[in-house]
Amino acid sequence: MVEFQTPHLDAVFHALSDPTRRAMLHRLSNGEHTVSELATPFNMSLAGASKHIRVLESAGLVRRNVRGRTHICELQAARLAEAQEWLRHYERFWTTRLDDLEKLLRDEDRTSAGAIGPTPTKPAKP
């Protein structure tokens, strides 16, 4: 069972709160990228990209490997699984609530249809 009050979970949701970081994670889901490659679509400096990557690293979502002067980033998805588990708890809540709503609406439709009764038919024209 996942602890729901951990610094790790807070860090993951903080990292995911920024659209640039989410886009970087999406790119990393297809494989390793350099910091420069991650910065390019956003027209940002390497220093700016590095700040975003540090947040992702702090959350445990990215690992950075230094090869010479090149920094290679790769996705670490385990912490995303923890966040997904936290969200799954609420998914069960909403699924139950939506099932209850569906039942209520179906019952209401049946009640409305019974109150109106069958639609009268017009006699056929000769």
Whole-angstrom Cα distance, residue 107 to residue 97? 15
Q: What is the pTM of this model?
A: 0.70
What CATH code would you report for 7-78? 1.10.10.10
- Cα distances from 46 to residues 10, 29, 67, 119, in angstroms, run 26, 20, 16, 71
**In the structure, what pLDDT confidence band is assigned to residue 33 with cuts at 50, 70 and 90?**
very high
The one-letter amino acid code at 9 reads L
Q: Check residue 54 and give its pLDDT.
A: 97
Mean pLDDT of the chain: 87
